[in-house]
Amino acid sequence: MKKNNASAKFAKIMGSYGMILILLLLIVCFAVSIPQGRFLSSSNIFNVLRQVSIVGIIAVGMTFIMLTGGIDLSCGSVAGFAGVGAALLMTKYTMNPVLAALLMCVLGAVFGMVNGLFISKLDVPPFIATLGMMVSIRGLAYIITGGLPVFGFDKNFTKLGQGYVGPIPIPVIIMVVVFILGAFFLAKTKAGRHIYGVGGNEEASRLSGVNITKIKLLVYSIGGLCSALGGLVMLARTNSGQPNGGEGYEMDVVTAVVLGGISMNGGQGRIGMVIVGVLIMGILSNGMTMLGINEFVQKFVRGLVLIGAVALNNFIKKKNEKTTSAN
């Protein structure tokens, strides 16, 4: 009995504070391993925050989707297309940068809505629907650019990814604002409560009068919008539109969201913890780079982190279910 109680307490602590403890442990390990205090320098801290900003922005949209029990593998392709699309509009068609950015955000939401239509109306599994869209949208990015990068757009646009407000990088401010808006929407709106309900028990939500199709269209549209916004920040940071931009982002985004405690089965998790998952991914990557660990090893580690996060999530869920049933 004592062993079971200890195990239940451990699961409860890990469920509430586990990722925060892991984040702190990573910070301590890298701070000790990297000489001359370079890891904890203010310049490196802001560098980490700037690096994770794009993944963080996209992760907000992915959180909405995963809370309904879905997934979006097309987020990286949408980000890449938004980047090259905006770059072409500003260079080839001399469009105003603000208008080009707004148009790409709308198009990103449309891509997301198409995902939602496939999933909610045609009953295509989210994995398959978004995998197909991932390949198709990436193909479109290569078609409209001829496979070549796009340069020469308005330099003022680069402030979106390279500018500062005081000491704080603008991408970090954008990420924080997106997280705040996402948290407010999920906690304070009727649609936000319905998102949790659909993820927790879709059939019960349907019987209680929730429009399941509308909710799924909403979350995938938000996901597409966040992906496009992340792509625009990426464009401004790199100062060029790359047709392969955003490749592999889906892996980092899903890992960050799962590390943040969002259940892949839907209905559980808080968006506020997702930023902890984003920071874990950013600090892990930054620390390994500063230690001279090559990119291939980093990919291997990130894959293990995703598996470990899902395994830990399932372990905590099972322990909590046993504790609940025992009571």
180 occurs within a structural domain? yes
What's the pLDDT at 156?
85
How many domains would you assign to the chain?
Answer: 1
Nearest Cα to Cα of residue 74 among 164, 141, 1 = 141
C-alpha to C-alpha distances, 285 to 78, 269, 302, 305, nearest whole angstrom? 23, 24, 9, 12
Is residue 73 in some structural domain? yes
Provide the pLDDT confidence category of residue 150 given band limits of 50, 70 and 90.
very high
Pick the range with the lowest mean pLDDT from 6-15, 228-237, 253-262, 308-317: 6-15
Find the domain containing 286 and state its range: 37-313
In a domain, 182, yes or no: yes
Phi, psi dihedral angles at 222 (to 5 degrees): -60, -40
Angstrom distance (rounded) from CA 227 to CA 205? 28
pLDDT at 61 over 80: yes
Q: What is the pLDDT of residue 54?
A: 97
pTM given for the model: 0.92
Alpha-carbon span 46 to 21, nearest angstrom? 21
Q: Confirm whether 160 is domain-assigned.
A: yes
Integer CA distances (angstroms), 323 to 2, 6, 264, in order? 13, 11, 21
Question: Does the pLDDT value for residue 1 go beyond 60?
Answer: no
Residue 153 lies in a domain: yes
306 within domain boundaries: yes
The CATH number covering residue 121 comes to: 1.10.3470
The 10 Å Cβ neighbour count of residue 136 is 14
pLDDT above 80: residue 107: yes
Task: Tell me if 10 is assigned to some domain.
Answer: no
Q: Is residue 74 part of a domain?
A: yes
- 124-145, pLDDT tens digit by residue? 999 999 999 999 999 999 999 9
